[in-house]
Amino acid sequence: MKEHSAEAVRLKVGQPIALRKSGMVRPLTKEPLNAQQVVGLLREITPGHLADRLASTVEFAFTYEAPDGAIEVQVEPDQAGLGATLRALFPPRPVAAPAGPSSAGNGDTAPRASIEALLRTLASVRGSDLHLRTSAVPVARVNGDLQPLEHPATSAEQIETMLRSVMPAGDFAKWQATGDADFAYELAGEGRFRGNAGRDRLGPFAVFRLIGSTIPTVDELGLSKEVQALCQLSKGLVLVTGPTGSGKSTTLAALIDLVNRTRADHVLTIEDPIEFVHQSKKAIVTQRQVGVHTKDFKSALRAALREDPDVVLVGELRDLDTIAIAIETAETGHLVFGTLHTTTAASTIDRIIDQFPADRQSQIRVMLAESLRGVVAQTLCRTVKGGRAAAYEVLLSTPAIANLIREGKTFQIPSIIQTGRKLGMITKNDALIELVERGTVEAKEAHFKAVDKPAIVQMLKARGHALPVGE
């Protein structure tokens, strides 16, 4: 792989060894491999505690630290025999950095050093995102605002070489071929970063989201005892929703961490990419990355049913098939966590049902009414002190909620949430008002983040919080 700058090597019983490069697969040997050869090759690099799995029929994956860098190994047994895909996590041969302020005198390590310096700057200013754009100064998002960094503008060549230095080879090839790729990068001392590489009319660009090295607890996030209790359920569907950048990943990580600390169960996560890393504590945690350890969310979720999970996290419910399998998984004795880009609990239910054809919606309403256990719809607000605070709308399953879902009367859900305060439910407006009453956020910010703006104006006025003229 290193010699040919390939993305992967394929081993399969009955087939020659094959290299995959730039989406093309070509044989590397003339003779096909037999079962003894494949097992022998894999046994050389498989960790001792996983060696017995080579004789099983269950897929598994591990990382092998080769002299040239890390290799992701996906072992894939099937009826035709044992197979494996070895993907390079090291970058292809370094490309000389373009001359300029960020690379002078640093040789081939300059691109990686440049991007790592920018990522460290992002962490030092407590930013959430780093934006790199062609012919523009790098920009950090700090407390919701975009702020230019003291750094020269980055050229197309600089961005490309920086990305090449930190992206897995397969993701870099995908970006070159399609113009879009998601990936993760870990920087010692700072934590993990979720990266997205793309192209626009000016050239390449990239956005890095700081994930952080520690997982906040549910108490640190201010999640209620009723929301925490959802982590102790044996089955059902729990959804964390909100717009991009609202903190869904952080909330889910805290909930999974609570499961990890309190339950002796198997937690399986399916993410794109892996963001927060969970070390097994009381639970066993298996984390799979779409595109690295599995083909897609749908495939991984189908396979999950054969992997003895108790709790399943689906990073994103992207399509009809994934949603359908997630609901079925929740119905068959598993606790399933998932995310959607919806702003309220009621709109979350509508979004799920609307994904399905009209002739299936009645059936999905019934299944969702039976399986849904809770929805946490959140948004991040700027605080008075310059930080960020989350406002959580919470819907918890009750017979009344189930009936409204079953009968297609989701427009009545907000009123049920409002009357369910004693059960731990709260509307988005009430959550925003609580932040204002505690002096955490200003009335103007609460109004800006509210979905039902006329209602929150009345609520603010009733409590003596006047909005600026014109609001």
- Over 80: is that where the pLDDT of 67 sits? no
Distance CA 30, CA 21 (A): 18
Distance CA 419, CA 161 (A): 56
Torsion angle defined by CA atoms of residues 346, 347, 350 and 351, in that order, rounded to the nearest 10 degrees: -150
Q: How confident is the model at residue 305 (pLDDT cuts 50, 70, 90)?
A: confident
> Who contacts 124 (Cβ-Cβ below 8 Å, separation ≥6)?
none
Share of the chain above pLDDT 90, in %: 65
One fold for 8-88 and 218-426? no
The mean pLDDT value for 248-274 works out to 95
> Helix (H, G, I), strand (E, B), or coil: what is residue 215?
coil
> Who contacts 364 (Cβ-Cβ below 8 Å, separation ≥6)?
324, 327, 352, 353, 356
User: How many CB atoms within 10 Å of residue 139?
Assistant: 18
The class that CATH gives domain 218-426 is alpha beta
Chain-centroid distance of CA 187 in Å reads: 18
Show me where the domains of the chain are located. 8-88, 107-212, 218-426
Strand partners, 142: 145
Q: How confident is the model at residue 335 (pLDDT cuts 50, 70, 90)?
A: very high
Sign, CA torsion 227/255/375/380? positive
Distance CA 33, CA 6 (A): 20
Predicted local distance difference test score (pLDDT) of residue 22: 66
**Residue 175 contacts residue 196 (beta carbons within 8 Å):** no
Distance CA 276, CA 294 (A): 18
Give pLDDT tens digits for 92-149.
333 333 333 333 333 346 899 999 999 999 999 989 999 999 999 999 999 888 999 9
**Which numeric CATH code is attached to 8-88?**
3.30.450.90
Distance CA 37, CA 84 (A): 12
**Between residues 22 and 19, the one the model is more confident about:** 19
**Which numeric CATH code is attached to 107-212?**
3.30.450.90
